[in-house]
């Protein structure tokens, strides 16, 4: 398996992957119609947004098949407007889940982000999964979620010593979910 930047030709495979990975709503477990998988639509919208960062959209490819995808886009910590990253969606094809693909993608994304001088990564996800990557409840870092109801599922990790607390704001397509 290799991890590389997503290319324009990967878009259809990435959309199909997220439709399968998020076929069940991660919050409720309810099965969804493929056309109603918001994570798949979100990735398409993020690519068109000013917050898209091509070096932070990565695919895992095995035997020429895209088996995993992760993206981080430009967000901000308000009221200062300090640049930060919003991680997600992250998805792995159901057939290959729990074989380490997600782990490799998250580590690769964090390494690229750190090398690029990013200071903070925030995400909404399962704390049990993200804790091992150094994420903590964002409130422990002085970062408030866009929606306080997200509680400890809104997590963050500092990448540098430059640390500005405040309220996290995602790239615009997240607001249209």
Ligand X SMILES: CC(C)(COP(=O)(O)OP(=O)(O)OC[C@H]1O[C@@H](n2cnc3c(N)ncnc32)[C@H](O)[C@@H]1OP(=O)(O)O)[C@@H](O)C(=O)NCCC(=O)NCCS
Question: 95 — phi, psi (to 5°)?
Answer: -60, -25
CB of 79 to ligand X, least distance (A): 27
- Among 62, 63, 65, 46, which residue's Cα sits nearest to residue 54? 46
Q: Is the Cβ of residue 44 or residue 126 nearer to ligand X in the bound state?
A: 126
Q: Is the Cβ of residue 129 or residue 163 nearer to ligand X in the bound state?
A: 129
CB of 88 to ligand X, least distance (A): 6
Residues of this chain that interact with ligand X (CB under 6 A) are 21-22, 26, 90-92, 97-103, 125-126, 128-129
Q: For residue 137, is it left (φ>0), alpha (ψ between -120 and 50) or beta? A: beta
Q: Is the Cβ of residue 147 or residue 161 nearer to ligand X in the bound state?
A: 147
Q: Is the Cβ of residue 103 or residue 167 nearer to ligand X in the bound state?
A: 103
CB of 32 to ligand X, least distance (A): 12
- Among 72, 60, 66, 65, which residue's Cα sits nearest to residue 109? 72
Query: Which residue number is nearest to ligand X in terms of Cβ?
Result: 102
CB of 93 to ligand X, least distance (A): 8
- List % helix, strand, coil for the chain (3-state, nearest 5): 40, 30, 30
Q: Is the Cβ of residue 41 or residue 163 nearer to ligand X in the bound state?
A: 41
Helices 38-48 & 11-21 angle (0-180, nearest 10): 150
CB of 6 to ligand X, least distance (A): 16
Burial category of 7 from C-beta neighbours within 10 Å (exposed 0-12, middle 13-18, buried 19 and up): exposed
79 vs 129: CA distance, rounded Å = 30
């Amino acid at each position: 398996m290799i991890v590389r930047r997503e290319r324009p030709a990967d878009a259809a495979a990435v959309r199909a992957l997220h439709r399968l990975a998020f076929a069940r709503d991660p919050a409720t477990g309810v099965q969804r119609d493929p056309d109603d998988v918001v994570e798949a639509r979100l990735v398409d919208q993020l690519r068109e947004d000013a917050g898209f960062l091509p070096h932070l959209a990565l695919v895992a490819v095995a035997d020429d098949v895209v088996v995993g995808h992760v993206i981080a886009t430009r967000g901000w910590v308000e009221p200062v407007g300090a640049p930060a990253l919003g991680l997600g969606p992250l998805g792995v094809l159901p057939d290959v889940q729990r074989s380490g693909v997600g782990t490799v993608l998250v580590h690769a994304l964090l390494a690229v982000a750190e090398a690029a001088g990013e200071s903070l990564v925030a995400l909404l996800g399962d704390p049990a999964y993200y804790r091992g990557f150094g994420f903590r409840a964002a409130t422990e870092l002085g970062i408030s979620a866009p929606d306080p109801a997200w509680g400890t599922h809104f997590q963050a990790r500092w990448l540098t010593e430059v640390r500005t607390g405040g309220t996290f704001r995602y790239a615009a397509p997240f607001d249209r979910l």
